[in-house]
């Protein structure tokens, strides 16, 4: 799961998917990163931690890190939150195999529309709730794909 800072959207996506794969005992490794690296080492934003906890999800143990080229070797799928991050991650791809791993995450629930998970960082609480709702649906879709292969 990849966004810009790895403190708002991608840690939530990471936490949601981790929780869902754990509950189903699926052998899947979930992680998240940011393309900026500006917040490396930081906890998720307190507003995202609070929103997650209102839905019974604890993401406070996650720590921000920068996305690197090596992530293409470790992960089969890379979900990005918006088009800027799609661009930044795609720039690091070394070949077509890498490139094909990258998906705009909302394509999973609204295919072909190129929709973005809005950046909630400079907005109010509603933005964080909207991000939760979108990423809950998108991660449900990932679980559906993993369990209906
Ligand atoms: P995120 O949100 O990409 O969802 O983690 C942001 C976090 C930090 C900043 C921007 C967006 N920032 O400018 O520091």
Between the CA of 47 and the centroid of ligand 1 the distance, in Å, is 12
* Residue nearest ligand 1's atom 7 by CA: 5
Question: How far apart are the C-alpha atoms of 67 and 85, rounded to whole Å?
Answer: 10
- Rama region for 101: left / alpha / beta (φ>0; ψ in -120 to 50; rest): alpha
Q: Which domain holds residue 105?
A: 2-144
Instruction: List the residue whose alpha carbon is closest to atom 12 of ligand 1.
Output: 5
149 inside domain:
no
Ligand 1 contact, 49 CB (< 6 A): no
Residue 82 lies in a domain: yes
Q: Residue 101 — φ and ψ, nearest 5°?
A: -80, -15
Whether residue 126 is contained in a domain is answered as yes
Cβ–ligand 1 distance for 5 under 6 Å, the answer yes
**Mean pLDDT (whole number) for 143-148:** 97
pLDDT at residue 12 tops 80: yes
For residue 72, being part of any structural domain is answered with yes
Provide the edge-to-edge strand list for the sheet that holds 102-104. 33-34, 2-3, 78-80, 102-104
- Are 47 and 17 in contact by the 8 Å Cβ rule? The answer is no
- Judge contact between 25 and 137, C-beta under 8 A: no
The pLDDT of residue 30:
98
Percent of the chain predicted with pLDDT > 70: 100
CA angle 80, 125, 46 (to 5 degrees): 75
At 19, which CATH number? 3.40.50.2300
Assess whether pLDDT exceeds 90 at residue 149: no
In terms of phi and psi (left: phi > 0; alpha: psi -120 to 50; beta: otherwise), the region of 119 is beta
CA 136 to centroid of ligand 1, rounded, Å? 19
pLDDT at 112 over 80: yes
Q: Which residue has the tokens 């490396």?
A: 40
Q: Could you report the per-residue pLDDT of 36-88, keeping only the tens digit for each?
A: 999 999 999 999 999 999 999 999 999 999 999 999 999 999 999 999 999 99
9 Cβ inside 6 Å of ligand 1: yes
**Bridge partners for 3 per DSSP:** 34
Total number of domains in the chain: 1
Q: Whose CA is nearest to atom 14 of ligand 1?
A: 5
Cα–Cα distance between 97 and 53 in angstroms, integer?
Answer: 37
DSSP type of residue 70: T
What is the Å distance from ligand 1's center to 39 Cα?
8
79: in domain: yes
Question: Domain for residue 9, yes or no?
Answer: yes
Ligand 1 centroid distance, CA of 44 (Å): 10
Question: From CA 132, how far away is CA 9, in angstroms rounded?
Answer: 8
């Amino acid at each position: 799961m990849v966004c810009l800072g790895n403190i708002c959207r991608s840690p939530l996506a990471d936490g949601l998917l981790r929780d869902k794969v754990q509950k189903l005992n699926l052998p899947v490794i979930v992680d998240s990163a940011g393309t900026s690296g500006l917040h490396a080492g930081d906890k998720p934003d307190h507003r995202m931690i609070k929103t997650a906890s209102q839905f019974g999800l604890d993401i406070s143990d996650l720590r921000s890190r920068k996305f690197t080229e090596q992530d293409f070797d470790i992960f089969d799928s890379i979900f990005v939150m918006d088009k800027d991050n799609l661009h930044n991650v795609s720039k690091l791809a070394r070949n077509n195999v890498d490139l094909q791993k990258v998906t705009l995450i909302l394509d999973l629930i609204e295919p072909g529309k190129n929709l973005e998970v809005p950046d909630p960082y400079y907005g109010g609480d509603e933005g964080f709730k909207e991000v939760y709702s979108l990423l809950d649906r998108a991660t449900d879709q990932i679980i559906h794909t993993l369990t209906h292969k």
